Structure 1
Amino acid sequence: MRPVRTAFAGALLGTLVLAGCGQTGTTTATPT
């Protein structure tokens, strides 16, 4: 497993968690 893929997966998961917890369906797509 490459560190680049791990970082990408981590960032994607973090964005999903933030979008789910912080914003309750306010913004559909959050620019990273």
Structure 2
Amino acid sequence: MLEQIFTLIVTPLLVGVVIELVSHWLDEKDDN
């Protein structure tokens, strides 16, 4: 049960962080 809650909370957070990093990296790439 706890593991399921942990997964439900952590997975979207990780996905959000990855999306932020990728979009930031793409913006940096476009500037060059």
Q: Same fold (TM over 0.5)?
A: yes
Instruction: Give me the TM-score of the superposition, normalised by structure 1.
Output: 0.64
For structure 2, the residue ranges without an aligned partner over 5 or more in a row are 1-5
Rg larger in structure: 2
Identity percentage of aligned residues: 8
**Larger helix proportion of the pair:** 2
Instruction: Give me the TM-score of the superposition, normalised by structure 2.
Output: 0.64
Structure with bigger RCO (C-alpha 8 Å, 6+ apart): 1
For structure 1, the residue ranges without an aligned partner over 5 or more in a row are 26-32
CA RMSD of aligned residues (A): 1.9
4+ residue runs over 6 A deviation = none
